[in-house]
């Protein structure tokens, strides 16, 4: 069955254009024009992915995203935010409230479809890079549960569950992929560009701030003292490394 995508924007022409392009690519599309109807559609339609504009009447996209992340049925649904050109604050805040990615207006058909495919693909399956890494580090995987263990961290790859110090953590899809990639390459310093390429996908067009925001989220959930992280460490001027 075709994947369902919810498109939320109050610009009717833009919604019509996005919906047409998505349908031509084989997706089913439902739409909403404001924040309140977006929440209702997300609850009743159970979309596989949401494209959400920040500037919406009644309730803005940031608040919609916050509420969706609080609800169990949409806590891990991939969300792509639509932001105004050059508005870096909106991009960062969007990521901080739970969006998985953002697209800056105006955007092209190919760019949007690339983001959609990458998020849907990675929400369901380990990436080819992860499968290759798993083969190279088979001693870290415990069949049949396919579990990674690194210090206080346990990652159930098949169930996409994470436990740290005995506590189950709820991670969004991209947070899970980033953490898994860091752990599989533990001890290796990874640049931000490497993380963008291998976690977000070769067709991802973004900036390294995306990586920084997601790392901060992970630290808040994993570290005993997020201000002085022991697990995910920063290598100044280079990137990040998982150490244990």
Q: Which helix (H) or strand (E) holds 136?
A: helix 128-136
Distance CA 78, CA 209 (A): 19
Where does residue 166 fall: left (phi above 0), alpha (psi -120 to 50 degrees), or beta otherwise? left
Class of domain 4-124: alpha beta
Spatial CA neighbour of 27 closest among 117, 109, 100, 110: 117
Spatial CA neighbour of 182 closest among 158, 153, 221, 146: 153
Return the domain boundaries, the chain: 4-124, 128-242
Spatial CA neighbour of 119 closest among 105, 104, 99, 97: 99
Q: Which fold has domain 128-242?
A: Arc Repressor Mutant, subunit A (1.10.10)
Spatial CA neighbour of 22 closest among 120, 169, 122, 130: 120
Residue tagged 């919609």 (tokens)? 64
Q: Which two tokens stand for residue 181?
A: 């990639």
pLDDT at 210: 81
pLDDT at 229: 94
pLDDT at 1: 75
pLDDT at 205: 56
Q: Which two tokens stand for residue 80?
A: 């792509």
pLDDT at 128: 41
Residue segments in the chain with a per-residue pLDDT below the cut of 50? 125-132, 134-135, 137-145
pLDDT at 204: 57
């Amino acid at each position: 069955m075709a994947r369902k995508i919810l498109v939320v924007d109050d610009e009717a022409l833009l919604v019509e254009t996005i919906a047409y392009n998505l349908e031509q690519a084989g997706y089913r599309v439902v739409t909403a024009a404001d924040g309140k109807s977006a929440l209702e559609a997300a609850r009743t339609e159970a979309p596989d992915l949401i494209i959400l504009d920040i500037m919406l009447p009644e309730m803005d996209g940031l608040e919609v995203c916050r509420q969706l992340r609080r609800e169990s049925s949409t806590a891990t649904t991939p969300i792509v935010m639509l932001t105004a050109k050059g508005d870096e604050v909106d991009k960062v805040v969007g990521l901080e409230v739970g969006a998985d990615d953002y697209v800056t207006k105006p955007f092209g058909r190919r760019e949007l479809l690339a983001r959609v495919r990458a998020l849907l693909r990675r929400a369901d399956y380990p990436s080819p890079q992860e499968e290759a890494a798993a083969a190279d580090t088979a001693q870290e995987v415990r069949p049949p549960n396919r579990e990674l263990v690194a210090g206080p961290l346990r990652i159930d790859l098949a169930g996409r569950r994470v436990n740290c110090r005995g506590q189950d953590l709820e991670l969004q899809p991209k947070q899970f992929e980033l953490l898994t990639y860091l752990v599989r390459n533990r001890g290796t310093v990874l640049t931000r560009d490497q993380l963008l390429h291998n976690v977000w996908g070769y067709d991802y067009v973004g900036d390294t701030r995306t990586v920084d925001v997601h790392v901060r989220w992970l630290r808040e959930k994993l570290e005993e003292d997020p201000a002085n992280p022991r697990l995910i460490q920063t290598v100044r001027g280079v990137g990040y490394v998982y150490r244990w």
